[in-house]
Amino acid sequence: MLKIDRKYGNILGINISSTPRSRVLTLVRSRLASKRKFYIVTPNPEIVLKAVSDKRLAKIINSADLAIADGVGLVQAAKFLSMASPKNSFLKIPFCFFQGLWVGLATFLDKDWLFRELRPIKGREMFLELVRLANKKGWRVFLLGGEHGEAEETAKKLQRSYKAVTFAWREGPIFDKEGLAISAAGLNEEKEAVYAINEFQPELLFVALETPKQEKWVSRWLPKLSIGGAMVVGGAFRYIAGQAPLPPKWMEEVGLEWVWRLITEPWRIGRVLNAWPIFPLRVFLYKITIDTPEAL
């Protein structure tokens, strides 16, 4: 896949691209104009942890045209890992601990420094930005995935605001973690979904399934789909359809969306724990066991 100029943050072996929203929109316009497909993924801390133990998922993320940092947590991790630390093992642990504290405080006190190399872009916000672009251009948009009619409700809500977009949707079958249909009926549903996408020929395909299903499904089918490009959006349909409450903006900005999810969706506690404290602990342990530029 052809890349665009951008900076990277490498977190536990997973490349995260630092690209302003405006450049993402430029990439999409350019690719569609030249009829070159693109693939955008939206890793967050939970997804990075899954990719560490899933080599195929890691390869998909690292080879995507863009892997935007979905949330402040990845930005904090990338900044922390880039900071120099002493070689002396007795000094390194407390030194890195205080570095981590400073990175956390910078979320409140010095965002310009924190976001200098890598900026967060929420996947659901980028999704809406691309729908706005589609509205300006009169593009076709296909929504695949979600549960309990989320794709249909999302399309209907968006249609009221973006009348120049032509929407289509399909919920699709139940997939396993490899992005494969789990039954014969599911295989038929998948074929019908692929047929519907290719008949519709959308400029933009948005896929909302759980990770790693969505990433693997798109990676496998992308060469066979008559689309301009695809983006995976996780739970975006659920929020836009109104089936889950959005977190307050201030919580997103300081990396506390996991607290909101724990309050509003306590049954997702396993996923929330991956965001905090498991992810930052893994990042800390990773840093104290690798060689970094020497600080002292």
Q: What is the pLDDT of residues 6-54, one digit of tens each?
A: 556 899 999 999 888 889 999 999 999 999 999 999 999 999 999 999 9
* Beta-carbon count within 10 A of 263 CB: 11
Sheet holding 38-41, edge to edge: 66-67, 38-41, 229-232, 204-208, 140-145, 166-170
Q: Mean per-residue pLDDT for 183-209? A: 97
Instruction: Tally helices (H) and strands (E) across the chain.
Output: 15, 8
Mean pLDDT for the chain overall: 93
For residue 2, pLDDT over 80 is answered with: no
Locus of tokens 């992810």:
279
pLDDT of residue 234: 94
pLDDT of residue 20: 86
For residue 294, pLDDT over 90 is answered with: no
pLDDT greater at residue 227 or residue 10 = 227
Q: Mean per-residue pLDDT for 140-157? A: 96
Instruction: Determine the 3-state secondary structure of 258 from DSSP.
Output: helix
Q: Which of 76, 92, 75 lies closest to 84 in space, CA to CA?
A: 92
pLDDT of residue 291: 63
pLDDT of residue 1: 43
Instruction: Determine the 3-state secondary structure of 210 from DSSP.
Output: coil
Show the domains of the chain with their CATH numbers.
7-70+120-240 (3.40.50), 72-119+246-288 (no CATH)
pLDDT of residue 19: 83
pTM, whole model, 2 decimals?
0.93
Q: Mean per-residue pLDDT for 160-175? A: 96
